[in-house]
Structure 1
Amino acid sequence: MHFQLQVFVTVVEKKNFSRAAEALNLTQPAVSQQIHSLEDHYGVKLFERNSKRVEMTRAGEILYQYAAQILNLHQEAHQAINDLMGLVTGKLSIGASLTIGEYVLPKLLSVFTKQFPDVEASVSIGNTEVIADNTLNNRIDVGLVEGPVNPANLIITPFLEDEMVLIVPSGHNLALLNEVHTTDLTEETFIVREAGSGTRFVVEELFRTLEFHPKREIQFGSTQAIKNAVEAGLGVAFISKWSIQKELKLGTLAYVRMKGHSFPRPFSIIWKKGQFQSRAMKEFVNLTVSSDFLSALEAPMT
């Protein structure tokens, strides 16, 4: 019965027998047979089938609610037994917002997987809002976010302090200074993210705080593109300090701070209140907030 429920849930989520068969590494007739067996067992029709997709009947909708819970409880029971035996195994789904996902999480996962090689980790990247929503809806076990989130139904624990700094090419005249004033920037072209980007929102807030508006802007669609543009001498940019560690070591970029201002922001780890925490998730959280990992990440900035 457990396998039949797994097949049923997969068909629901894939909305197609062929895609479900591919995901389960089964033939389509085998998937159909398992669904027919379930329908015979309950004496109801679970799907309305057409040439493009399948839709659940009302009975299918009811069964899906219970089947998802049963499969989740089965996984939790299996994990709890492993935990009892001191094993750190199983699957761990992690979501991360863009800057963390690109520049912090790879280092974190490198340390984690060396310590716990039997944990199968999967990662999804999105903006902070998407990661928080996925956490609340049990699509991921734990999230790493760089923006504010609604604390309702979420445990939010800061684990790393970020800072927005002004980056310039290493040969730029401003690279010789530790601090600059807005008057030093009036003739500079600013490299910025596209409208609608979370990073663009943070930078616009920063400009408002400084009461400064760039004379010229060039938009790029990613943090990496912004760094490349600054290295090429197209302009300067405000960017997360954690995204420029490699360039600082290579000497291709330099950073300065604004005189009389600092722009810190916390990176936080989040999970849903009351959710079951596997041993793998507990170990990941513990590592993320540990002083050992923070020391390993410590940037060469003062």
Structure 2
Amino acid sequence: MEQHLSQYRIFFEVAKAGSISKAAKLLYISQPAISKSIIRLEENLEIALFVRTSKGVSLTPEGQIFYEYLQSAFSAIEAGENHLTKIKQFNIGKITIGTSNTLCKYILLPYLNNFVKENPHTMISIFTQSSDQTSFLLSENKIDIGLVAKPAKTQNMSYISIMEIQDIFVATPGYLNNLKHIFNNHFDPFRDGNIMLLDKDNATRKFIDNCIEGSKLQLNQSIETSNMELLIEFAKTGIGIACVIKEFIQKELEEGTLVEIEMPKGLSIPKREIVFLYDKKNINPSLIKFISMLKS
């Protein structure tokens, strides 16, 4: 391929100019050298590419087909060169980030706002899925960095701790009053209430299940969803008790729209650490800038 590339360029310019002499001036190559290059190309391909006339040259049907392919190829090369020039001129880069919908809304967006202000030409792709899937994509080098709850084993990944979150059970005052009315004040919210949880494949749900495993706590689950946002909205409508992240409903707790339900005596849910997880061997310049911003 490499040894024929110069021949392809010569063929392309001759075909475009319709003249060997014109192409020779454009390429700063002698006419005999151009003629010799075309003859070699035709011999290699074992097909005639030009018809020679007194006025110049014209393409054979086969030559026209070859010209169209080369036109696309050289256009792609030119576009690639222009793109690289723009990357250098405007400091354009690209970074791919993986996270869940919930962490994206409540945690990632403020960081993105700051990063984009400093790097307006950087292209950002965001993949939203479960934390487990984000970790998998990182291990497969399909994303640059992931925002997740810190896994038990980070393997070969590096991480930057962002914040701690607390999982709690909440409900509206109205819903709790209804339970009191039904059970004459002698009620157990976890036994008698409608408990709303994330689905069993969710990393947060697995964490909650592990926390209560082996305890006497019995959850009367009635609603299961894959979306934390929906859990929060379900709780606010007063249809049950939802397990949500405390830091994401601070406004509702302060206003009294939702109230936290105490865990049974002797049972607690530990806080979790939210981290940006990445491969320190990844030398993507945009990733390095993003990590620098996080650390600062």
TM-score, structure 1 normalization: 0.59
Residues 1:108 and 2:114 aligned together: no
Superposition deviation, residue 149 in structure 1? 5.8
Q: In the alignment, which residue of structure 1 is the partner of 2:276?
A: 269
Larger Rg: 2
Q: In the alignment, which residue of structure 2 is the partner of 1:283?
A: 289
- Please give the residue correspondences for 1:204-223 in structure 2 after superposition, counting only pairs within 5 Å: 204-208=209-213, 210-223=215-228
Aligned residues: CA RMSD: 3.8
Q: In the alignment, which residue of structure 1 is the partner of 2:126?
A: 123
Alpha-carbon distance in 2 for matches of 1:35, 1:149: 54
Q: Secondary structure at the match of 2:217?
A: coil
Give 1:219's aligned amino acid: E
Q: In the alignment, which residue of structure 2 is the partner of 1:33?
A: 69
Alpha-carbon distance in 2 for matches of 1:146, 1:35: 50
Q: Is the 8 A contact 2:95 2:125 kept in 1?
A: yes
Superposition deviation, residue 213 in structure 1? 1.3
**1:229 alignment partner, one of 213, 234, 249:** 234
Alpha-carbon distance in 1 for matches of 2:126, 2:152: 20
Deviations 1:180-237 (A, max 9, x none): xx95533222011223222322222232265311134322332122112211221112
Give 2:291's aligned amino acid: V
Q: Is the 8 A contact 2:164 2:274 kept in 1?
A: yes
Superposition deviation, residue 169 in structure 1? 1.2
Q: Is the 8 A contact 2:190 2:217 kept in 1?
A: no
Alpha-carbon distance in 1 for matches of 2:128, 2:152: 16
Give 1:109's aligned amino acid: L
Give 1:33's aligned amino acid: Y
Alpha-carbon distance in 2 for matches of 1:243, 1:209: 28
TM-score, structure 2 normalization: 0.60
Distance 1:287 1:210, change over 3 A: farther
| Stretches of structure 2 lacking an aligned partner (at least 5 in a row) | 6-64, 75-79, 178-186
- Please give the residue correspondences for 1:56-71 in structure 2 after superposition, counting only pairs within 5 Å: none
Give 1:154's aligned amino acid: M
Deviations 1:35-82 (A, max 9, x none): 9969xxxxxxxxxxxxxxxxxxxxxxxxxxxxxxxx9xx98x997x78
- Please give the residue correspondences for 1:133-152 in structure 2 after superposition, counting only pairs within 5 Å: 133-148=136-151, 150-152=153-155
| Stretches of structure 1 lacking an aligned partner (at least 5 in a row) | 5-28, 39-70, 175-181, 291-302
- Please give the residue correspondences for 1:186-265 in structure 2 after superposition, counting only pairs within 5 Å: 186-208=191-213, 210-245=215-250, 247-248=252-253, 251-258=256-263, 261-265=268-272
Q: Secondary structure at the match of 1:234?
A: coil
Q: Secondary structure at the match of 1:104?
A: helix
